[in-house]
Amino acid sequence: MIYLTDLDDIKNAILDLTETDILWVDTEVADYATKKPRLSLIQVLAYPHNLDGERTYMLDVLDKSDLIDFFIKNIMINESIKKVFHNAKYDLRFLGKTTARNIYCTLELARKIPYYLLPVKSYSLKILTEYLTDFKDLSKEEQGSDWGIRPLRKIQLEYAKMDCVYLAQIYHKLSALEDKIKENITLEVLNKRYKEIEEEWLLLDSEMNYLKERIKEIMIDKNIQENDYFKVNSITRKTIKTDLQQLVKLVNEKNINIDFPITLTKAIQEELGNNLEDLNININTDTYYTLKSKNIENEHEE
């Protein structure tokens, strides 16, 4: 690892890093649970093939606002350098906020990948790394340790140097998955794949709906609010209705200022008949598209 604490050493390292096209960046924050969190470390990796973290730059910037500003000026707002983060919104709170440019977030990318390609329950760096790479059983215990102490413990530095390594690895894996969902596939290929899995999906979907409904009925009947798998939520909606003619009469008598458009349902339009022409109406036309499988519907109807 390259752990730097000297001001000049850190500045020189930052300037060296400006020579690359892409950087994998992470941060460690002291007092993160308080109203005044402090940026403690900036970890930067420029060598994605490094797997042991020994080429990770760790810049000690605790209470060194000038160095943080120097990093922001030379790295974060530099549009020619792509900066990869996981959960970039969090790190950008300390590294330039909205002034940062060319930011890439693996968390946001992971959320766009369909579940069938990325079947994980969480998009944390740990979960994604363990699923997509050969790194397993990662410990995140040091994440919540005291990053405001100095000197930092060796175990903290060992932990910090690896997050950029994990980040670089999942970045390439996620990018490959992104390419897969964006690849140019013919309609014929898509149709064929859909037909291959449609019947299986219908069976599973039917069973899932049945199971959920039966589980809900039993839990409600036995007054079970939650178990290891489910939680029953109840929603109470209160609806107040009145006669339209009474409402119109009240508005006129009390001179109440109520003026907003209402939707004329098909039933109301039929009641109004030709009188509809006497109203000042606005017509909004929306087009919605649905996709229905022709063959399987016909097969089930026969």
How far, in Å, CA of 95 to CA of 67, rounded? 11
Q: Which residue has the tokens 């209470």?
A: 63
How far, in Å, CA of 22 to CA of 49, rounded? 13
Average pLDDT over residues 95-107: 98
Q: Count how many residues are written for the chain.
A: 302
Closest alpha carbon to 118 in 170, 163, 165:
170
Amino acid, res. 253 = E
Please check the confidence at residue 302 and state whether its pLDDT lies above 50. no
| 300: phi then psi, degrees, rounded to nearest 5 | -75, -20
pLDDT at 296: 52
Tokens of 122: 């969480």
pLDDT digits (tens, 9 = 90+) for 179-205: 999 999 999 999 999 999 999 999 999
How far, in Å, CA of 294 to CA of 133, rounded? 41
Per-residue confidence band for 244, with pLDDT thresholds at 50, 70 and 90:
confident
pTM exceeding 0.95: no
pLDDT digits (tens, 9 = 90+) for 115-148: 999 999 999 999 999 999 999 999 888 888 999 9
Please check the confidence at residue 295 and state whether its pLDDT lies above 80. no
